[in-house]
Structure 1
Amino acid sequence: MCRSAARPAPSGRPRTWVVGAQDRCAEPRAPQGRVEDEGHPVTCFDHRIAALIALDGVYDLGDMAIDLLSLDRAEAERRLRADRDPELDAAVDAAVAAGPKIRWVVDQGMYVMGADTPRGLFATFLDYHLRDGIAQKVTCPTLVCSAADDVFFEGQPELLHEHLTCPKTLLEFTDVLGADAHCQAGAQRLAFARVYDWLDDVLTESA
């Protein structure tokens, strides 16, 4: 999930966007600064935003689908988006039945993304990425959080941090702090304290 705070609007009222994994935002046209488009966060295009927090950072959600299904990118694009692929459907169903990790991803993901089938869910994952120069469009200071034992997005925060060209900070949470799980589950008081300390510093500097 990404949370972003905007600089005050001309009226003096602050504007705040919360950009989650299910939000697909592009160049803002609506008053709230978000429209449905290609899976890109609004912070890539709306430069009024003062700060961005990626908790935890994700560069390419499609990588998770590819890793879980043991497909390469080209094969994933072709088979996940196909009208029919009974063989892959059966493989996904078998994987869901065999492991709690992928079962949770599918159950929760289908609800959040509004997908009709497990394969359809993984197909939507391919649309959520910051490749092709999109990450470089972020201009505001960005905090990228990383959990050492994130079972879903291992390596993704580091990829995002690597591709950002804005002022950026990589904040790592480890097992020593008991904060190494995905989104620092079990240690969120510590995580939020560090996140809001960073945000306080950034917004104070830009005031």
Structure 2
Amino acid sequence: MSATPGRMFQNDFHEAMGTWVLGYAPYGGADFGEAAAVAAEVADGDDDEFCAAWLRHADSLVSRADDARAAGHGVTASDLLLRASAAYSNAYRPLLGAPIDPRLLVAQRRMREAFEAGLELRPGSVAPFDIPFDGARMRANLALAEGHESERRPLIIQINGYDASSADEYFASSVAATRRGYHSLVFEAPGQGATLSEQGFALRPDFEAVLDAVLDHIADHPLVDADRIVISGWSLGGYFAPRAATSGDPRIAACIADPGQLDLGAGLGAFVRRLGASEEEARDPLNLPDATLGRIMASIEANRQLRWAIAQRGFWANGVTDFRAFLNTTAGFTSVGRLDGIRCPVLLTRGEGDPLAAGAGGFAEAIIAAGGRADVVDFTIAEGAGGHCEMMNRSLLNRRVLDWLDDILAG
């Protein structure tokens, strides 16, 4: 099979996975040539070769970082280690699911080691720490504002989605924030990172409880301006962040959701209809006949992208083992009836080509109707930013979001 012109990886699934890191190029997470070189190694190989090629690339970056550190080039070593952490994340992403593939744990642990070693070499670095929550230990890392490492500064708490790592979140959001003068916290919530893979804690819809534990741990930090703490979520974090804000916690100064999602259950009818349910059955997606569920699962298993997104990642992260349970669990992720609790300004992003962003306008209207403030910022395909989380023009996303935040906090 030959590669399609204008693309890197020959396999559609690998193309989606392998080019994700290009969104980090402005922030040092990867370069086009690196991803192209890995793609050439993978060629028409399967997921095993995809994983192995990214692991080889990440390991080579760590080796070069060791040489740089030994030669006294700490900045180069830090850059290489952090870049390696993003490559390790790419390596294990196709392996997500239960039972846990041992290679996932190896790559995930190497990601964590490289990420924290790279941060440690940054000026005024803060040691990684664990945040206790409901029996879990959520690993957290604080990246400091560039040029203000010893100062009390506003903090952005970055909230991840389904499958991204702390390294992904760092390059997608934290680097831009620290360049703008914000401290930035990344952490592994239930259903994410080692909190899921090594401790077994699944996603939970009541993210206000998770965030409360994070705020209790970080709000009194001497480097954090407790009056200017912001929460920002991407992908599924676009549900988590505003859900957390519905608590009305006065410690939250602003909330960003990329993209803004009010109710995950609202789209289940259309979702099962696309997968083969009849129009009548789709009106009640939580009570589909067993025969329909069987047909839907057959279609999911036949599609590599769907199998990964639902049967691998979706089931595992939600702590379920079948499609009916997955639908029921997803329906519980909603902020409907809670919006009058939001006490801070909210920014919702809306990518033109991102289905998850389709409800952002209605979400904003609902927040305003409940007495809150909500702004929507649009991103278009013409700008190269119309996809999920604006990944092919992430720098545009960060500029617009941080401009909004600068204005909010200044006001």
TM-score (norm 2): 0.40
For residues 27 and 150 of structure 1, the distance between their equivalents in structure 2, rounded to whole angstroms, comes to 25
Contact 1:136 1:163 in 2 (8 A): no
Shift of 1:144: 0.4
Match of residue 115 from structure 1: 320
The match for 1:41 among 243, 253, 259 is 243
Shift of 1:186: 1.1
Render the CA deviation track for 1:59-106: whole Å, top value 9, x for unaligned: 111123221102445x22334xxxxx5323313213314545543430
Shift of 1:163: 0.7
Render the CA deviation track for 1:159-188: whole Å, top value 9, x for unaligned: 211211212110010011110001112111
Q: Read off the aligned partner of 2:214 and give its amino acid letter.
A: Q
Answer 1 or 2: which has greater helix percent: 2
Q: CA 1:67/1:100 → structure 2, altered by over 3 Å: closer, same or farther? A: farther
For residues 195 and 64 of structure 1, the distance between their equivalents in structure 2, rounded to whole angstroms, comes to 26
Match of residue 295 from structure 2: 91
For residues 299 and 268 of structure 2, the distance between their equivalents in structure 1, rounded to whole angstroms, comes to 12
For residues 308 and 402 of structure 2, the distance between their equivalents in structure 1, rounded to whole angstroms, comes to 30
Q: Which has the higher mean CA deviation after the structures are superposed, 22-31 or 39-48?
A: 22-31
Report matched runs for 1:167-182 at 5 Å.
167-182=373-388
For residues 169 and 105 of structure 1, the distance between their equivalents in structure 2, rounded to whole angstroms, comes to 30
For residues 381 and 390 of structure 2, the distance between their equivalents in structure 1, rounded to whole angstroms, comes to 10
For residues 117 and 195 of structure 1, the distance between their equivalents in structure 2, rounded to whole angstroms, comes to 38
The match for 2:392 among 157, 169, 186 is 186
For residues 157 and 320 of structure 2, the distance between their equivalents in structure 1, rounded to whole angstroms, comes to 24
The match for 1:136 among 340, 357, 364 is 340
Q: Secondary structure at the match of 1:41?
A: helix
Q: CA 1:163/1:95 → structure 2, altered by over 3 Å: closer, same or farther? A: farther
Alignment gaps of 5+ in structure 2:
1-151, 162-202, 217-239, 274-280
Q: CA 1:138/1:95 → structure 2, altered by over 3 Å: closer, same or farther? A: farther
Alignment gaps of 5+ in structure 1:
1-11, 80-84
Contact 1:145 1:172 in 2 (8 A): yes
Contact 2:385 2:393 in 1 (8 A): yes
Number of residues of Structure 1 aligned to a counterpart in Structure 2: 182
Q: Read off the aligned partner of 1:25 and give its amino acid letter.
A: D
RCO higher in structure (CA 8 A, sep ≥6)? 1
Match of residue 198 from structure 1: 404
For residues 266 and 339 of structure 2, the distance between their equivalents in structure 1, rounded to whole angstroms, comes to 16
Contact 1:144 1:169 in 2 (8 A): yes
What is the root-mean-square deviation of aligned Cα atoms in Å?
2.9
Alignment of 1:68 onto 2:271:
yes
Identity of aligned residues (%): 24
Q: CA 1:134/1:65 → structure 2, altered by over 3 Å: closer, same or farther? A: same
Shift of 1:13: 8.9
Q: CA 1:88/1:52 → structure 2, altered by over 3 Å: closer, same or farther? A: same
Contact 2:205 2:334 in 1 (8 A): no
Q: Secondary structure at the match of 2:253?
A: strand
Render the CA deviation track for 1:31-66: whole Å, top value 9, x for unaligned: 4359xxxx8822101232100001101111112322
Q: Read off the aligned partner of 1:32 and give its amino acid letter.
A: V
